Amino acid sequence: MLRNRIVLGSLVALVAVVPPSWAMLSSIDPPAVLAITQRRELSIFHEPGETYNTMLERAEEVAQMEIQQLFDADIVTSDISIVVMGENGGLIAPLLSVDVRRDQWRRHPDIMTWARYYTNARELLGLNAPPPEPSAGSEPVLGTGDVQVTLRWATTDDLDLAVTDPSGDTTFFANPSVPSGGQLDVDSNAGCGGTTRSPVENVFWPTGGAPQGEYMAAVNLFSRCEDTTGPISFEITILVQGQSRTETGTVSDANPTVTFPFSLP
């Protein structure tokens, strides 16, 4: 086969003489695939009279909007990494962070699916003071409805109640309301601040609003606030359409979580 000699600067190469169309195809490189990670740090300020849970909801809204705008604005953005910081009177702490790929977000564009929450943010921001205590010997008014789950214990330790609905959404201190209507309306001994020896936590779905299906209630030892190491006893009451059942149990460092399944027919 006839060969031509091509000289480029000091580089000498032998190439085969081929038909023009084949020569053109062989000279075209495949397009480069661009992948860009967008990183953002956002800040929100605590507003006067605002609860920590409300501030956390605003952080979720800010992160949700920012992620959607970044993906919409640049088609080559493949990954987004966001941290939302909270500020309160000079105190600064991360509230949540999100690392999500474009394909993950396209399948499920819901901030609560991808967010990681910082459980000590409330304390670091100085927002762990509870609302005014009710009069001695009384309990705060608890929300009720088709489904109500109430946790009680008798120490100043921080136990947490979480209830997962049939859709898989969980109502708990960092996510106090879910689309199905579940609400956490009382959260005692949070972050070991303003502690009481008659704590109660309550999650409920209003009448006519609870979805049918399987639920899961969980009691978790979030933090010890007393200088003790033994098991902590608790009582949990589950009310479903007027029918109530009460269970007892203990949580400890070795077994920090106890679950109670139930259903709404």
**For position 23, what pLDDT does the model report?**
45
pTM for the model stands at 0.51
**Which residues neighbour 210 within 8 Å (Cβ) at sequence distance 6 or greater?**
145, 146, 147, 165, 180, 181, 182, 264
What confidence tier does 35 reach under pLDDT thresholds 50, 70, 90? Answer: confident
Q: What is the mean pLDDT of the chain?
A: 85
CB 264 within 8 Å of CB 212: yes
Inter-CA distances, 219 with 62, 156, 249, Å: 30, 15, 9
Identify which has the larger pLDDT, 51 or 261: 261
CB 262 within 8 Å of CB 246: no
Q: Where are the domains of the chain?
A: 36-124, 147-264
DSSP 202-260: EEEE-TTTPPSEEEEEEEEEEE--SS--S-EEEEEEEEETTEEEEEEEEE-SSS-EEEE
Q: Is 136 exposed, middle or buried (0-12, 13-18, 19+ CB in 10 A)?
A: exposed
**For position 263, what pLDDT does the model report?**
95
**For position 138, what pLDDT does the model report?**
66
| Three-class SS state of 263 | strand
pLDDT in tens, 96-109: 999 999 999 999 89
Q: ∠254-258-261 over CA atoms, to 5°?
A: 160
Class of the CATH domain delimited by 147-264: mainly beta
* Secondary structure E strands in 17-107: 36-45, 77-88, 91-101
Q: Is the pLDDT of residue 25 over 60?
A: no
By C-alpha distance, which of 249, 217, 246, 247 is closest to 232? 249
Q: How many Cβ atoms from other residues are within 10 Å of residue 167's Cβ?
A: 12
